[in-house]
Structure formats: structure tokens, C-alpha cells
Chain A
Amino acid sequence: MSKRPLMAKKIAAYVGMPLLFSLIIAGLIGGLYVGVLEDRLADGLSVFFAASGNSDAEPESLYDGPVMGIGETVDAEKVTIPAFGTQYAEIVCERIGLQCPLYYGDSDSVLKKGAGQTLKSMMPGFGQPTMASGHNNREFNRLKNIVEGDVIQVHTNYGTYEYEVSGTEVITITEFDEQLLLEKRDRLILYTCYPFDTLGLTRNRFFVYAEKIAGPTVVFH
């Protein structure tokens, strides 16, 4: 056997293969970091879960698009309380380029698709805060550019709500004051993991607080 093919094999084994695997791993991390590859894989795997009869596979969306001109109030009977994991609204902040589906519930599977409203808060218009979370490597990464005075819209089937950002803060998960969700005022609270571009788990969260400036109040009869 000549030495040249042997040398080529050694180069392939000691240089080519490590390089190839490095590129593959870098590609995987990069793809997951921007959320693209994860979505593709999740889409592929969901085929198997759906086929096995898992009812949590793909919840129905209640959201039909923005509704304008509702007025100051909306009858409670016209408001549908969604099932857990159902999209019922869309969060938009034009200045920072945020456009994100809002789901009812905030489980891990929900947060892989968009923002999730905790059941321990209220839907917009019910006179108490609405709190939603989202992953920092998806749409909520754009929250890093939000500033006081920005307007956030929440489009629902029963009206469009506008909130003006009153402040932001970074706190740990144990520092969040749950009493905020018991207040008797309509406001929007959004949060995501902080720092925004961190690759590992963190105990810090970036919170956005916004006060309602427009949108119908849900009234009961």
C-alpha cells in the first residue's frame, strides 16, 4: 500500500472529521439559538404525537384578527374564555418590531409557540392585570429595545387594548411581588429571561409594566 492514501486517510480522520463535527454542532447551536431549527424539529415530531392521539398536539385558535371600534365597553357574553393552550390574542409593539401570538396558559409547550398568559392573571378588559411571558430567544427578545412611553397593543376578538409602558426592571424570580396581580386595574405585565442573549438558565427576569390607555371594559349583567 502506498503512503499517499494512508496520509489522506489520517488527514481526514484527524482534521476533516473533527472540523465537520464542529461545524455541525455550531450549526445546531446557532439554529436552536434563533429558534429556527427547534421549530422545524418540533413540527416534524408533532406529526408523531398527533398520530398517537395526543390531544395537546395543536390547540385551536380563537383569534380571528384585530377588531377595532368596539367602544368603551363590551358585553361579557361576547367574550369567550379560551381553553388552556389556545391562542386568543396577539401582542404588537410596532416601534420595536414585536408581533407575537398570545395563548391562554403558560406551560412549556405553550411558550414554544409564543407568549403565554398565566391563568393567575386576567384577560384584558377584566379590571385586573394581564401577565404574559415569552422566551428570550423568540419574539420577546425584542423587549430589550422597549422604553418607557412605548405603546403595546393586544388585539383580541372582543377589542383592541393599548397599554403605555410605564417602566421596566430586572429582578430575580423570587423578587416578583404576586400582589401586583391582585390589583384592581387593567395593566399589562410582560417578562422574559434576562440577560436576553444568555445561553444558559438564569434566575433573572426582565419585566415590562404597561398601563391601559384604551380598550373596552368587559361588563357583566
Chain B
Amino acid sequence: MKKVFAILLAVLMLSTLCLPAFAASDINADEQRILDLLEEIATGHHGADMELHAVDVNQAKAFFMKNEIDIPEEDADAIIAEVEKAFDLVVKSGLKEEDLGKLDAEDKEELLAIANEAGSYVNVTVSYDAAEHETHFVYTDDETGETTVVGTTSNIIKVTGADYTMLFVVLSAAVLAVAALAVVVKKTACAK
């Protein structure tokens, strides 16, 4: 489900991103048309029994706000056409919301291809992290080669408990060191 919406979202986000930081700007009428379409899809009012995370539309809105370049009418039309195209592809699959993750590999690849084709014009790549079930949008600066995350479809509620990553690293190293020491001691004892 997230994967599909991530790609729908990517189509419009990738068309609007140029730099990782901008002065805030308003949402013009054409950008609003795109947002309206996404909200229709997200709330299941776009001719199909499909509901998505409406809050992700909020994220798209934030992207439009950070962009100083207004999207002209013709570009908005093209973006809407791409979103419709991706949406139709999903609807034709006949899968319901809870099963959309089961889209066949060919359809998934086609959806990702749409997103990455759009992204190639603005140096943004879209990748899907299967382990985390997240899609990442990464912008690459041509001049410096620096990359920055410009979007994600990760869970809205994060893990905010104590982080034991470092503990595991240190303890693993300690266990290995002790094991190595034990082997050395044993070999030394045998040699004697």
C-alpha cells in the first residue's frame, strides 16, 4: 500500500524539486489542482475503492511550499497525467488496499520507472527499501556530489526508545575479544 502511494507521490514530488533548501513560497492554482487530485485518491473519492494516507498529501503540500519555482499549467497537466496513469495501473490490477503490496513485479517496476524517469530531470532518484518498507527520494547536487533526502514514506510514528545499537557493537567486540583471548590462552597452555 505504502509502496504504491509512495510512487504516486513521487511522480509529483520529483517534478517540483530542484534544491534541498528554499525560501517558503505559496501554492499556486496549478499546484493546488495536483494536491486536490491526491486528496481525492487518498480519501477514496477518485472512482475507486482505494484509501491512502491522507497525511502523505500533507507532505506533498510541504514540498510545494518549499519550492520557489511555480509549476506552470502545462507542467501541472503533465504531472496530473502521470499520477492518473500510475493510479489506473494500480486500479487495473484489481487488488484491494490490503493487497496492493502484492502487485506483480512487472507493475511495480513500471511504477518505479515512471517516478525515476521524472526524477532524472531534477537529479532525484527514487529507491525502495524492502527491509524497511519505505521509499526514499534523494537529491544529488551536480556540483558538489552531495546528496540529501528530500522525502520519505516511513512510518509517521518513530521508535523513540533507548537506542542500543552502540551497546550491541561494543558488546559484540568485547565477546569476540574474550573468545580470542580464550583461544590464545588455551593454545599457550597446550604448548606448555
Contacts and interface: CB of A to CB of B under 8 A. Distances in A.
Interface of A: 21, 24-25, 28-29, 32-33, 37-38, 41-42, 55-56, 62, 76-86, 105-108, 111-112, 116, 118-122, 126, 128, 133-137, 140, 173, 176, 178-179, 181-182, 191-193, 198-202, 205, 218, 220-221
B65 A126 contact: yes
Nearest to B153: A120
B87 to A, nearest CB: 21
B147 interface: yes
Contacts of B20: 83-84
A42 B56 contact: no
Contacts of B161: 135-137, 193, 198, 200-202
Interface string B157-184: 1111111101101110010001000000
Given A83-B20, A220-B25, A137 B58 contact: no
Interface of B: 20-26, 53-56, 58-59, 62, 65-66, 145-152, 154-164, 166-167, 169-171, 174, 178
A179 B174 CA distance: 47
B72 to A, nearest CB: 18
Nearest to B170: A28
B158 A120 contact: no
A191 B149 contact: no
A205 B156 CA distance: 12
A86 B148 CA distance: 10
Contacts of B58: 120-122, 128, 181-182
B54 A33 contact: no
Nearest to B67: A81
Contacts of A133: 157-158, 160
A179 B26 CA distance: 23
A76 B62 contact: no
A111 B158 contact: yes
A173 B157 contact: yes
Contact of B23 (A78, A106, A126, A176): A78
